[in-house]
Amino acid sequence: MRNILNKQRSTVLEGSFGNEKNHYLLQKSRARTQDTDICWIFFGMMTANISIIAQRMQNADAYARAA
């Protein structure tokens, strides 16, 4: 059972990373060193998270105004 859950979690997580790679210009690394590559990935993921949070906040604000 544990193996099945771990496989499912990793599949969902990989799908999330794949979507973010496509939308936040992370398909091809522009970094020349490993440290810069890690920074590119980190800031790409942070940008993705910020955009999701901003969308949620905007939706909550619109919902509050409608109520």
Break the chain into its structural domains and give their ranges: 2-66
Cα radius of gyration rounded to whole Å, the chain:
16
Reported as a single tens digit per residue, the pLDDT across 17-32 is 677 767 666 677 777 8
In Å, how far from its chain's centre is CA 1? 27
Query: 7-19 pLDDT, tens per residue?
Result: 777 676 667 667 7
pTM of the model: 0.58
- CB contact at 8 A, 26 and 20: yes
In this structure, are residues 20 and 6 in contact, taking their beta carbons and an 8 Å threshold? no
What whole-number distance in Å separates Cα of residue 50 and Cα of residue 56?
10
Q: CA 63, CA 56: separation in Å to the nearest integer?
A: 10
